[in-house]
Amino acid sequence: MNTLARQLRAVDYFTLGWGTMVGVGWLVIMDDWLLRGGALGALLGFVIGGVLLLPIGWVYGKFVVAMPDAAGEIAYTSAVFSRSISFTTGWMMTLAYFIVCPWEAVAVGRIAGYIVPGLDSVELYRIADRPVYLPHLVIGFGLTGILTLLNYRGIRLSATFQNWTSFGTLALFVVFVALGVSRGSTANIQPLFTHTPWVSILLVIQVVPYFMTGFESVGKAAEEARPDFRNRGFLRAISMAIFIGILFYASIVAAVAYVAPWRQLTGEKFMTAVAFQHALGSRWIVNIILAAALLSLFKCFNGNFVAASRLLFALGRRGMVDARAGTIQARYQTPSVAVLCIGFATAACMLLGDAILVPVTEVGSVACAIGWSATCAACLAVARVRPGVMNLSAGERAVVWFGLAVGIAMALMKVVPFVPGHFTVYEWLALGVWIVVGVAIGRRRPQS
């Protein structure tokens, strides 16, 4: 059988979109967010950045209805642009999803080490002066192997896993935030901004694309919808993912700043957990937070794994990379080769350890901003030259133009040297390696 299994429902698409978006950044690098913007600066950064993504989400919703293709951005751009542009867009979006997988695999080792301090032992080597521990690697490799097997065996298994971990995360989040806020104080939230208000907000907005990317993963599984699924459900799932994502990030930033004097805790490992423990004076609240973090990590890892493997599958099916990547496993109806490739590549990148955590967020932000921009540009072009596929009113065109401007701005503010928070040598190196690999593959692919 040469088609993907059609088993996904509306709730599955919501948990895929939201679950892919929200990982464990709120636990692992909360201090980075607050040091960038301060309490109010970080909150406004996520709210403003998230709201700016709504027009882009609308564009994706329109495209998924018009072109329910696992290729996502590759299909949208190839409808009007050259093969090279389509490949470049797909390659960058593959990076945006894939790069999250080793991030989460590394993060699970850090969380495990916090729960069981004895796991922070058997140092193998250091990268950027950060130790890489053998137990962390073993745990990360184990989780990667489990998710690879889960996705190899079928999308229904993967979706069920995604649903349980997503709703479990939300339930635990409500519990620990409610308990912590009851003991907080407005005196804790100072300083509101760590730089000038504008710079503080800008520095946070710069990483929002990375932490909010995922809503567009809905389109990567569009071919796996149940036969009775209504297409307008795609746009609803995307919109809900963005709204709940904004609410989640704004709430957790506000809660951490409110429950404890956050400026005094920025040097602590897992500042979020320490802040709530400080507020309640007990370790049990930390256990709830860590349980929520682990569930969130699992769903984010799984969601990005699904999206990355579907894009790699689409590149293979279209002959843009090795055609074997476009193979569908006959029994499970999954993109088996693409799944295995993502699994092995995740395990390899894990060897870089904790040093990848912050740089990855920067590179992922640019990669997805490029993909969003190309998708918005394709939407305008398709409406102009292929009105039978996409029709836009004057107001809708304005929405798409705004989304295009947002996407371009989000990419430029990380690569333009005079903008605060621009790329450092590590981010340029990571992005450069990915581009070189893409060029090498592109030269070998068949030309149209």
Specify whether the CB–CB gap between 214 and 20 falls below 8 A. yes
Answer whether residue 445 shows pLDDT above 60.
no
Tokens of 250: 């704004």
Specify whether the CB–CB gap between 215 and 238 falls below 8 A. yes
**CA–CA gap between residue 243 and residue 78 (Å, rounded):** 30
What confidence tens digit (pLDDT) does each residue in 20-62 have? 998 888 888 898 899 999 999 999 999 999 999 999 999 999 9
Tokens of 53: 């993504």
Tokens of 127: 């990268």
Which residue reads 């620990």 in tokens? Answer: 176
The bridge status of strand 123-127 relative to strand 130-133 is: antiparallel
Nearest to 75 by CA among 400, 320, 327: 320
What radius of gyration, in Å, describes the C-alpha atoms of the chain? 21
**CA–CA gap between residue 35 and residue 68 (Å, rounded):** 41
Tokens of 93: 């979006």
Bond preceding residue 191 cis, omega within 30 of 0: yes
Specify whether the CB–CB gap between 6 and 219 falls below 8 A. no
What confidence tens digit (pLDDT) does each residue in 67-94 have? 888 888 999 999 999 998 999 999 999 9
Helix (H, G, I), strand (E, B) or coil at 8: strand
Residue range 182-190: mean pLDDT, rounded: 86
User: What's the per-residue H, E or C state across 14-34?
Assistant: HHHHHHHHCCCHHHHCHHHHH
Helix (H, G, I), strand (E, B) or coil at 48: helix
Q: What phi-psi label fits residue 129: left (phi over 0), alpha (psi between -120 and 50 degrees) or beta?
A: left
Residue 123 DSSP code:
E
What confidence tens digit (pLDDT) does each residue in 291-344 have? 998 999 999 999 999 999 999 999 998 889 888 888 988 888 889 999 999 999
pTM of the model: 0.87
User: What's the per-residue H, E or C state across 125-137?
Assistant: EEECCEEEEHHHH
